[in-house]
């Protein structure tokens, strides 16, 4: 077992798909893959590796699939992943061929950029705030199971946080907090950039349907059983039934073992020197064939299941299935995807002249640079992020929206709201295990958000839910 076991699933799928495309190339020309691998292994200068990758780049640029030629990003991704895979298989050729393969990749990228119908990148359509409001209203008015309310909260949070669907899968109940000045924060872990952020959530000025805290309150009410996740119906990024990790060989046996059997790739400072009478065109020896066969076998240990589509059980698939189910009945004309919320929220914020582009980029974690640790305490809760949150909720950038304070209500109102809390959010308060509870400051808002649904409920037919409310 090594660190490769912790590589994200999507990264492994992309690498596997690219390798499969590389293996289809020699089949079209009736060339054995074992012959190509053995030839590359015996070529010390690396010219055969460069020539093979050059032919693979040509194959990616000219081959047509079910939907025509490959898109620019897809072709570049396939070429890059196969290059890295070959570098792992033949580490002694990395130094000799890295520059030429980099140049080939740039040529392929420029060609795909300039060719007809291949230059523009296909982008997901925008999810405007009106689209978000229509989706949430339709889900609330036609919901039949508790998971429908949690899907509405997922869509609302993705739009306000500029989040990918995978970012919300890691959100826990303990990640929602209230600052000393009464501002709500949601801590998110950006899975793609491995960055932790604290994002501001403010009340919506015009409609409670697009208020993220209201959506969270409804999602907490709809939870059937206690759980640590903020939204309980999302698929896990790491399957719970995964096989236990195997530590492999003991550390004492690694230094004493045969270096050729270690499953690691290193870049040698010197290439192996061949004898003068060695013939590069000679048939590969038995040991060479065995090594090439073992390389092919290791790459084919996990055959690809063609019946299961990529992302079927992922967060992206969960969001896309929800959109296919509710987008058209809700009156949304655009063909929304899981990425539409991220683009729609960012462009809505970009429409305000008082917001800088850097503030929007910081909220969406588009800035890939490392932040100095000395400023970590202020960048995650910056006042600029508050301005972006206000614009997303319909306020001016310098406005001062306030949340209704439950302590300012009269005794009768507080008593009624207390009964609401005991009935509606019992799955996230008063539990022995702390990670299953929501902060008491957060539940104060959840207690006053429930009556806001009555205005929507009067205009919709009554329905019976699983928890009886």
Question: Residue 445 above 70 pLDDT?
Answer: no
The pLDDT of 431-459, averaged and rounded, is 60
Selected residue with higher pLDDT from 290 and 399: 399
Judgement on whether residues 336 and 452 belong to the same structural domain of the protein: yes
pLDDT confidence of residue 17: 92
Q: Is residue 184 part of a domain?
A: yes
Q: Is residue 222 part of a domain?
A: yes
Q: What percentage of the chain carries pLDDT values higher than 90?
A: 14
Judgement on whether residues 84 and 228 belong to the same structural domain of the protein: no
Q: Is residue 425 part of a domain?
A: yes
Judgement on whether residues 113 and 157 belong to the same structural domain of the protein: no
Instruction: Tell me the pLDDT band of 262, cut-offs 50, 70 and 90.
Output: low
First to last CA, the chain: 50
Highest mean pLDDT among 32-46, 224-238, 387-401: 32-46
Judgement on whether residues 213 and 359 belong to the same structural domain of the protein: yes
In our burial notation (b when 16+ CB lie closer than 10 A, e otherwise), range 385-402 reads: bbbbbbbbbbbebeeebe
pLDDT confidence of residue 446: 55
Q: Is residue 442 part of a domain?
A: yes
Q: Is residue 374 part of a domain?
A: yes
Q: What percentage of the chain carries pLDDT values higher than 70?
A: 67
Which of 92, 121, 150 is the last residue before a domain boundary? 121
How many separate domains does the chain show?
Answer: 2
Judgement on whether residues 86 and 178 belong to the same structural domain of the protein: no
Domain holding 174: CATH number?
A: 1.10.443.10
Judgement on whether residues 411 and 337 belong to the same structural domain of the protein: yes
Question: Of 230, 218, 222, which Cα lies nearest the Cα of 174?
Answer: 230
Q: Is residue 415 part of a domain?
A: yes
CA 48, CA 168: separation in Å to the nearest integer? 46
Judgement on whether residues 81 and 227 belong to the same structural domain of the protein: no
Q: Which domain holds residue 387?
A: 129-235+312-457
3-state secondary structure of 210: helix
State how far the alpha carbon of 40 is from the alpha carbons of 15, 292, 438, in Å. Answer: 20, 10, 58
Q: Answer whether 0.75 is exceeded by the pTM.
A: no
Judgement on whether residues 114 and 175 belong to the same structural domain of the protein: no
Q: Is residue 246 part of a domain?
A: no
Judgement on whether residues 157 and 231 belong to the same structural domain of the protein: yes
Highest mean pLDDT among 167-176, 296-305, 312-321: 167-176
CA 54, CA 37: separation in Å to the nearest integer? 15
- What pLDDT digit, counting tens, does each position of 386-423 carry? 788 888 888 888 887 766 666 666 777 777 766 666 66
3-state secondary structure of 198: strand
- What pLDDT digit, counting tens, does each position of 317-356 carry? 888 899 999 999 999 888 898 888 888 888 888 888 788 7
The pLDDT of 270-274, averaged and rounded, is 47
- What is the C-alpha radius of gyration for the chain, rounded to an integer number of angstroms? 28
Question: Of 465, 447, 460, which Cα lies nearest the Cα of 213?
Answer: 447
Is the CB of residue 49 less than 8 Å from the CB of residue 86?
A: yes
Judgement on whether residues 78 and 150 belong to the same structural domain of the protein: no
Which of 60, 87, 121 is the last residue before a domain boundary? 121
Q: Is residue 293 part of a domain?
A: no
Question: Of 464, 93, 58, 36, which Cα lies nearest the Cα of 292?
Answer: 36
Judgement on whether residues 204 and 86 belong to the same structural domain of the protein: no
Selected residue with higher pLDDT from 173 and 10: 173
Mean pLDDT, rounded, of the chain: 74
Which of 77, 92, 121 is the last residue before a domain boundary? 121
Selected residue with higher pLDDT from 165 and 461: 165
Judgement on whether residues 110 and 184 belong to the same structural domain of the protein: no
């Amino acid at each position: 077992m090594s660190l490769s076991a912790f590589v994200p699933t999507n990264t492994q799928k992309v690498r596997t798909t690219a390798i499969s495309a590389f293996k289809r190339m020699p089949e079209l020309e009736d060339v054995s893959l074992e012959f190509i691998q053995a030839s590359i292994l015996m070529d010390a200068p690396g010219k055969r590796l460069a020539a093979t990758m050059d032919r693979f780049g040509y194959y990616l640029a000219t081959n047509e699939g079910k939907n025509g030629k490959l898109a620019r990003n897809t072709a570049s991704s396939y070429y890059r992943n196969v290059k890295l895979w070959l570098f792992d298989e033949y580490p002694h050729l990395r130094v000799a061929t890295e520059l030429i393969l980099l140049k080939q990749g740039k040529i392929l990228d420029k060609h795909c950029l300039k060719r007809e119908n291949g230059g523009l990148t296909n982008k997901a359509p925008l999810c405007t705030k009106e689209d978000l409001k229509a989706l949430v209203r339709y889900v609330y008015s036609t919901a039949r199971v508790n998971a429908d309310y949690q899907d509405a909260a997922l869509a609302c949070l993705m739009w306000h946080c500029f989040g990918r669907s995978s970012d919300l899968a890691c959100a826990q109940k303990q990640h929602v907090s209230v600052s000393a000045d009464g501002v709500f924060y949601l801590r998110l872990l950006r899975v793609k950039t491995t960055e932790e952020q604290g994002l501001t959530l403010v009340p919506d000025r015009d409609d409670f349907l697009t208020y993220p805290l209201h959506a969270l309150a409804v999602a907490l009410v709809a939870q059937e059983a206690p759980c640590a996740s903020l939204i309980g119906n999302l698929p896990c990024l790491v399957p719970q039934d995964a096989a236990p990790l195997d530590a492999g060989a003991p550390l004492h046996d690694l230094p004493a073992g045969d270096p050729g059997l270690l499953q690691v790739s290193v870049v040698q400072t010197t290439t192996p020197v061949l004898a003068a009478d060695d013939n590069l065109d000679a048939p590969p020896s038995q040991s060479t064939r065995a090594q090439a066969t073992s390389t092919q076998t290791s790459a084919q240990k996990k055959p690809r299941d063609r019946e299961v589509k990529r992302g079927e059980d992922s967060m992206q698939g969960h969001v896309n299935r929800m959109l296919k189910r509710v987008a058209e009945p809700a009156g949304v004309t655009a063909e929304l995807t899981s990425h539409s919320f991220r683009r729609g929220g960012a462009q809505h914020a970009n429409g305000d002249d008082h917001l800088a582009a850097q503030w929007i980029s910081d909220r969406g974690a588009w800035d890939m640079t490392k932040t100095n640790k000395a400023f970590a305490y202020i960048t995650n809760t910056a006042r600029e992020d508050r301005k972006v949150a206000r614009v997303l909720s319909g306020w001016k950038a310098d406005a001062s929206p306030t949340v209704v304070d439950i302590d300012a209500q009269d005794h009768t109102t507080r008593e009624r709201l207390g009964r609401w809390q005991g009935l509606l959010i019992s799955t996230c308060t008063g539990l022995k295990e702390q990670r299953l509870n929501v902060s008491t400051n957060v539940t104060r808002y959840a207690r006053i958000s429930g009556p806001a649904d009555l205005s929507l409920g009067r205009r919709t037919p009554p329905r019976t839910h699983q928890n009886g409310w």
